[in-house]
Amino acid sequence: MTIKYVSTRGNAPTLSFEDAVLAGLASDGGLYVPESIPAFTMAEIAGMQAMSYPELAFTIISRFTEGSIEPEALERMIADAYATFRHDAVAPLKQLDVHTFLLELFHGPTLAFKDFALQFLGRLLDHILTKRGQKAVIVGATSGDTGSAAISGCSGRDNIEIFILHPQGRVSEVQRRQMTSVLDKNVHNIALKGTFDDCQDMVKTLFSDHDFRDKYKLTAVNSINWARIMAQVVYYFYAALALGAPAKRISFSVPTGNFGDIYAGVIAGRLGLPIDQLIIATNRNDILTRCLNTGTYGMEGVTASLSPSMDIQISSNFERLLFDLYGRDGKQINDMMTRFRSEKKLTLTPGVWEKLKGQFAASAISDEDTKATIASIYQSTGELLDPHSAVGVAAGHRARRDTGTPLVVLATAHPAKFPDAVKAACHIHPPLPEHMKDLFERQERFDVLDNDVDTMKRYISERV
Ligand SMILES: *Cc1c(COP(=O)(O)O)cnc(C)c1O
């Protein structure tokens, strides 16, 4: 069965898998979702128990790519993508107490879970472009993690030039060096004289210039790309199977910013995985927790926290969930999103709010509690948590309704990526893993550019 992809705003063409991946955002401003999701039977899920991570990834991903990507090519891309991880299990589970498990998603090349999607997406894009005899230019803005994972996934790919903008002097040194020490010809790092918002505005301006966008085939790899969500579904199955699914129900606590990672959990459930609770773990930038508690999705300013990769104002992938909750009525989502843009808030209908509360629990964790969690888990188990994973543990323990159900907390980053927060919490400086020990001696390459659109366009056109 070949799945088609439709926009959440109901006013863009229905696309094949490949076209949806290349498009990223839909032309009506919506996000692409599968027209239907073919669930696995319980017997099929039970049959996945002995699979290795790449075998499981192939079984799940091929549901979404059937009729589009040839099975042999898919198998090779998956094998290559997950061979870059430094742990044989790819996504190992570590037990913290009787019913709490950490799913370590930080063994990829850049030490954060975004490698799961971007190691695969870089190869997938290159494959689709090769087939079509096309080239593409990826342009993205980063406050840290996405940029390094995207660069790592795309470096050295034949048909891709990648330009990543970071705010000059405003990303951590580990994060900057992970990006700027990649010296492949197709990688272009730009330190923009401005803030992260300036970087994002610059990227938006480039994409909204349709002549420029079409001439250079600009492509986005941010978390609105369906292929990223799809790749992240796999580790929900992997963890649950290891803990006794499908005979047992499992709960997940997910450190959440843009709602991409936890939305992959929603899709895992639709595919038939018996999930007990999905817990939205946020820091003080808590638009989702407030929405669940009040029924109003309202924008407030962003404040910096100890878990910077979750410092967001809105959660773009939440639109995908709203599309489902409102009966997949694209016109209604389009109206709601237009109103949201002008009024900065939207109020859910009572029925939808009830459905939302039935599907999720949520908890917002302060910096103080984040540090306290890092310290107490270190004391009781010897494990060092990064601040994002600590938010996940704290929220999971607060929001679970049943302490007897296994709780899997997604550990989204390696502690060495956020050494200052870890040190402030428990006075230990988390060391970089062996393969990165020389990060601070590696040669860097980047250009510093003014926050000016014409300068940026010239820079890109001279290099493509
Ligand atoms: C991106 C990121 C998150 C948030 O994930 P979303 O998919 O945006 O919800 C959490 N933790 C870390 C370390 C991240 O890099």
CB 291 within 8 A of CB 346: no
Tell how far the Cα of 230 is from the centroid of ligand 1, in angstroms: 15
Report the nearest atom of ligand 1 relative to the CA of 256: 9
Q: What is the pLDDT of residues 53-84, one digit of tens each?
A: 999 999 999 999 999 999 999 999 999 999 99
pLDDT of residue 259: 95
pLDDT of residue 222: 78
In the predicted model, what is the mean pLDDT of residues 350-363? 97
Percent of the chain exceeding pLDDT 90 equals 89
Q: What is the mean pLDDT of the chain?
A: 95
pLDDT of residue 63: 95
pLDDT at 24 exceeding the cut of 90: no
- What are the two backbone dihedrals, phi and then psi, of residue 33, each rounded to the nearest 5 degrees? -135, 155
End-to-end CA distance of the chain: 38
Question: Higher confidence at residue 100 or residue 314?
Answer: 100
Distance CA 377, CA 188 (A): 40
Backbone torsion region of residue 218, taken as left when φ is above 0, otherwise alpha when ψ lies between -120 and 50, otherwise beta:
beta
Distance of CA 102 to the CA centre of its chain: 18
Question: Higher confidence at residue 220 or residue 162?
Answer: 162
Confidence of residue 301 (pLDDT cuts 50, 70, 90): confident
- Give, in order, the Cα–Cα distances in Å from 332 to each of 32, 70, 263: 16, 36, 20
Nearest alpha carbon to residue 380 among 392, 388, 372 = 372
Please tell me if the CB atom of residue 115 comes closer than 6 angstroms to any atom of ligand 1. Answer: no
Tell how far the Cα of 389 is from the centroid of ligand 1, in angstroms: 10
Closest residue to atom 11 of ligand 1, CA basis: 412
pLDDT of residue 223: 75
Distance CA 61, CA 230 (A): 7
User: For the chain, give me the number of helices (H) and strands (E)?
Assistant: 19, 15
pLDDT at 6 exceeding the cut of 80: yes
Q: What is the pLDDT of residues 147-156, one digit of tens each?
A: 999 999 999 9
Please tell me if the CB atom of residue 126 comes closer than 6 angstroms to any atom of ligand 1. Answer: no
- DSSP state at residue 112: B
Tell how far the Cα of 260 is from the centroid of ligand 1, in angstroms: 8
Distance CA 394, CA 235 (A): 21
Q: What is the pLDDT of residues 177-192, one digit of tens each?
A: 999 999 999 999 999 9
Strand 275-282 and strand 360-364: pairing? Answer: parallel
CB 238 within 8 A of CB 91: yes
Closest residue to atom 8 of ligand 1, CA basis: 258
